[in-house]
Amino acid sequence: MSHLIKAIESIKPGFAGELSGMDLSQRLTDAQVDAIHAGLDRFGVLVVHNQHLNDEQQIAFSRQLGQLEQATGDIMSDKDRRLSMGLNDISNLDKNGELLARDDRRRLFGLGNQLWHSDSSFKEIPAKYSLLSARHIPVTGGNTEFADMRAAYDALDEETKKEVRDLICLHSQIFSRGILGFDDFTDDERAKWAPVRQRLVRRHPMTGRLSLYLSSHAGGIEGWPVPEARSFLRDLTEHATRREFVYVHVWRPCDLLIWDNRVTMHRARRYDAREVRDMRRTTLTNEVSSLQQAPV
């Protein structure tokens, strides 16, 4: 089967590609692995339809692209986990496969995915790729949107480019959930999610392109008063998520999406809480901090 990556029509060329001709449940050749990396370097988001993956296959496929990150970003206690530690549970289900109640703490925490973010930017070593497999999707709603942070950086005026270039932001899940009024954290969670430092502008190690590294987890800029930092980050986010930089993915069953968190932000869209949405995410670690990806 020969593979092909083509730009998805009707959106800005260079953001979101559709990969076809690969069965990701099978071991990939080196050429196929190289093609996926090259596709992500070019597009930032890859869409692959009709991938019938079980959890083991998803993990095995992800490992062929790099080192897995541990799924420690949620508030699920080990005894409540539905999925193995290699997988992030992006669903509205409990471990028995029942829908979470509307006011369940885990569901409310998960609503943070509906804010623009880059995965694991609240970890000192953030995420490189995320791989999200659609196992069950609602009839309506629940799209995922992606913003191209390279194009957003390029479109800044020169003065703003200079201003943001060397800024360091502070990221924490406490900040992102705080935006939604969720502050129901245990002392352990507060300690685990103490703010971490990330560059606001980072350079992609392969393409050399610069991108804005924004995320709703960012709640401060080092050396800046908090309200001024947050209002600036809000303005930058508004700029970066203008429709011209955004690809809207309407899910089909068995879609697998891969995105590069270094150059994109994403967010989930609302859906009916009485419908099942079962998505499972493997995540690759960036292996180094964004602090080591300075513009020059």
Residue 91 interacting with ligand OGA (CB under 6 A): no
Residue 75 binds which of ligand OGA, Mn ion, none (CB < 5-8 A, kind-dependent):
none
Secondary structure element (H or E) that encloses residue 4, with its range = strand 4-7
Q: What residues numbered 254-273 form the site for ligand OGA, per CB under 6 A?
A: 266, 268
Q: Whole-angstrom Cα distance, residue 140 to residue 87?
A: 25
Give Dmax (Cα) for the chain: 56
Distance (Å, whole) CA 57 – CA 27:
9
Q: Mask 127-146, x = binds ligand OGA (CB under 6 A)?
A: ---x-x-----------x--
| Number of residues engaging ligand OGA in binding (CB under 6 A) | 10
Supply the minimum distance, in Å, between the C-beta of residue 129 and ligand OGA: 11
- The tokens for 133 are 């497999």
Closest distance of CB 199 from ligand OGA, Å: 21
What secondary structure letter does DSSP report for 187?
H
Residue pair 265/242 in contact (Cβ under 8 Å)? The answer is no
* The only residue of 32, 62, 92, 113 in contact with ligand OGA, by rule CB under 6 A: 113
* 210 or 268: CB nearest ligand OGA: 268
Nearer to ligand OGA, 116 or 156 (CB): 116
Burial 165-201 (b: 16+ CB within 10 A, else e): eebebbbbbbbbbeeeebeebeeeeeebbebbebbbb
Residue nearest to Mn ion (CB): 119
> Quick one: which of 89, 119, 260, 278 contacts Mn ion (CB under 5 A)?
119
Q: Tokens for 183? A: 């502050």
By the criterion CB under 5 A, which residues form the site for Mn ion? 119
By the criterion CB under 6 A, which residues form the site for ligand OGA? 90, 113, 119, 130, 132, 144, 266, 268, 279, 281
